[in-house]
Amino acid sequence: MAIAIRIARAATGRDMVAFCGYRGWHDWYLSANLGATTALDGHLLPGLDTKGVPRGLAGLMHPFHFNKLDEIEAIVAEHGKRLAAIVMEPVRSTEPEPAFIKGIRALADRCSAALIFDEVTSGFRINSGGAHLAYGVDPDIAVFAKAIANVFPMAAIVGRAPVMDAAQETFFSSTRARRPGRCACHFAQASRAERRQAFDADRHHIQKGWTEASQATGLPLAHQGNRQTDPDWPDWDCANTRRRLVDL
């Protein structure tokens, strides 16, 4: 994610970032809690401390909440000219409302900020690529990691040429950069993933196993996940299930 932010800043010559959700531990992200110490609360991990994060980064990060278009609209209205990037996951446990995800794309275009989709967790999970493909909205940069190399450590930062070209004018690397073995793992994984049915089969198999275990034991079960691509998704009564879990 840090590389994607670096590229967006290099491409735009701007420094501010609007973001939604958890994006990792790096300075760019944690700096949101400088000054407004609760800015990251409500974005997965509350109470994150900023010791060790340079104070000079204060004021660059602007949080908004998932499916709250009015929040990001307000940020763009106030800081649009300084926004290098708008960063979010296309989906996590909640489906994006079409007006939200399409509206974000339009807002990024309007203020010429890079739209970055964090596909670290969502990528290659519901389909053989970015989850954003299911919503018909393309980012300028997409970041993939967890599922792309069959648990081998690998990340891919991909995007449109006009933004990605800025990578030539800045620098990043890592101990594990350029390891062809991991790419081989990815291609082996991806060729399997391309058989779309594999995803459905795996998902249904796992759902079925959990459901049977729940029925056999009488233990309540709550599901979260993507419904859009899954017409057979059971209509779980999550609120009731949670209540029963508390009763247990």
Ligand X SMILES: Cc1ncc(COP(=O)(O)O)c(C=O)c1O
To ligand X, the closest distance from the beta carbon of 176 in angstroms equals: 11
Q: Tell me if 117 sits within 8 A of 141, measured CB to CB.
A: yes
Determine, following the binding rule CB under 6 A, whether residue 23 of this chain makes contact with ligand X.
yes
Cβ closest to ligand X, residue 19 vs residue 100: 19
Q: Which is nearer to ligand X, 25 or 109 (CB)?
A: 25
The reply to whether 140 sits near ligand X by the rule CB under 6 A is: no
Whole-angstrom distance, CA of residue 207 vs CA of residue 201? 10
In this structure, the number of other CB atoms found within 10 A of the CB of residue 151 comes to 10
Distance CA 143, CA 157 (A): 5
Interaction between residue 182 and ligand X (CB under 6 A): no
**List of residues 6+ apart from 107 with CB closer than 8 A:** 72, 73, 76, 86
The residue number with the shortest CB distance to ligand X is 24
Q: Whole-number minimum distance, CB 119 to ligand X, in Å?
A: 8
Among residues 65, 74, 102, 121, the one that binds ligand X under rule CB under 6 A: 121
Instruction: Give the integer Cα–Cα distance in Å for 137 and 6.
Output: 22
Nearer to ligand X, 100 or 144 (CB): 144
Q: Which stretch binds ligand X (CB under 6 A): 97-105, 117-125, 133-141, 193-201?
A: 117-125
* Of 158 and 219, CB closest to ligand X: 158
Candidates 10, 91, 118, 164: give the one binding ligand X (CB under 6 A). Answer: 118
Please enumerate in sequence order all residues whose Cβ is within 8 A of that of 214, keeping only pairs 6 or more positions apart, or say none: 220, 221
Nearer to ligand X (CB atom), residue 1 or residue 30: 1
Residue 206: Cβ-neighbour burial (10 angstroms; 0-12, 13-18, 19+): exposed
| Residue 125 binds to ligand X (criterion: CB under 6 A) | no
Contact 67, 94 (CB under 8 A): yes
225 binds ligand X (CB under 6 A): no
Can you give the binding site for ligand X, defined by CB under 6 A?
1, 22-25, 89, 118, 120-121, 145
